[in-house]
Amino acid sequence: MKDIMTAPFMTEAVRTVTNMYNHGWDERNGGNVSIMLDESELRDYLDMSVIREIPTGFGAPSLDGRCFLVTGTGKYFKNVRYDPERNLGIIRVSDSGRTAQLLWGYSDGGKFTSELPAHLMSHAARLEINPANRVVMHCHPANLLAMTYIHSLDSREFTRTLWQMCTECIVVFPDGVNVLPWMLCGTNEIGEATAEMMKTARLVVWSQHGIYGCGADLDETFGLIETAEKAAEIYLKIAHLPRLNTIKDSELRQLAEHFNVEPRRGYLDD
């Protein structure tokens, strides 16, 4: 049996959550990440025996039998690289999503993030759109969070503002950004609302809280959030100033055509 700490998915997960902390996106125990894993890639590192079973508090029949690497509840991202087995866990969804079978990790008796329902609901929603989706990432980027205090929360207007801040934005997230008004976190209700919005975009902003991102791998998902956060930072630097120049819709269309991406329908003016 190979050492699981040498597994590519493990080294990449540790590196990514450390980078998220270093970016200032995951203060204290804020934020969470889940990565879908193929059981075949786990069998080289685990005997797949169940350590214990943990109720999830909801159902996700479409994910039955799926395995996930998930950050733990109450865990600090800054500590993951020093003790992955305490701060991360690998679970297998069973009983139509109502149970998580712990296969590795949470060595101090802990469990998965309290946002697991929102994660699994988003995984299920994105898999219907893109079967290659593997990652759900939640964090608290300061500029995107700040933007929700001073900008309209209309998803179209929010997206257009971000697209206009950086030339690359419409290329990186042509599907735009969806925005939820403030909701109580850690509930099935916010998970359901997020999953519904994941059907039309890979980024969902939680107003006055943070952002959810989905992607095929950690690099794609991290890059989506990183790009949107950079655009929000630029917006905050200039929001109080008269705008003499901007990226016009005609220029956004040029970018989309040149890089062969399809902007979200109805988000550009005629």
Q: How confident is the model at residue 59 (pLDDT cuts 50, 70, 90)?
A: confident
Please check whether residues 124 and 70 belong to one and the same domain: no
The verdict on 173 and 248 lying in the same domain is yes
Is 162 found in the same domain as 94? Answer: no
Domain end residue (candidates: 81, 114, 147): 114
* 201-217: average pLDDT: 98
pLDDT for 228 equals: 98
Average pLDDT over residues 40-45: 93
The whole-number pLDDT of residue 86 equals 97
Regarding whether 196 and 92 lie in a shared domain, the answer is: no
Residue 92 has pLDDT above 90, yes or no: yes
Q: Does the pLDDT at position 1 exceed 90?
A: no
- Domain edge (last residue) among 114, 132, 151: 114
| Amino acid 235: pLDDT | 98
Tell me: do 108 and 122 sit in the same domain.
Answer: no
Q: What's phi and psi for 222, nearest 5 deg?
A: -60, -45
Model confidence band, residue 132 (pLDDT cutoffs 50, 70, 90): very high
Q: What is the pLDDT of residue 60?
A: 86
Q: 92 lies in which domain range?
A: 1-114
Same domain membership, residue 212 and residue 164: yes
Q: What is the pTM of this model?
A: 0.95
Local confidence band at 57 (pLDDT 50, 70, 90 cut-offs) = confident
What mean pLDDT is predicted for residues 238-250? 96
Distance CA 71, CA 14 (A): 10
CATH number at residue 69: 3.40.225.10
What is the chain's mean pLDDT, rounded?
A: 96
Strands (E), the chain: 32-37, 52-55, 67-71, 88-94, 99-105, 135-139, 177-180, 203-206, 210-215
Task: Read off the tokens for 115.
Answer: 């946002």
Classify strands 203-206 and 99-105 as parallel, antiparallel or unpaired: unpaired
85 in catalytic set: no
Express as a percent the part of the chain with pLDDT over 90. Answer: 94
The catalytically annotated residue of 27, 85, 115, 257 is 115
Residue 126 and residue 86 in one domain = no
- In the predicted structure, residue 270 carries a pLDDT above the cut 80: no
DSSP per-residue codes, 155-192: HHHHHHHHHHH-TTHHHH-TT-EEEEPP--TTSHHHHH
Q: Examine the domain organization and report whether 171 and 85 are in the same domain.
A: no
The total number of structural domains in the chain stands at 2
CB 224 within 8 A of CB 144: no
Q: Are residues 60 and 126 in the same domain?
A: no
Per-residue pLDDT tens over the stretch 147-169: 999 999 999 999 999 999 999 99
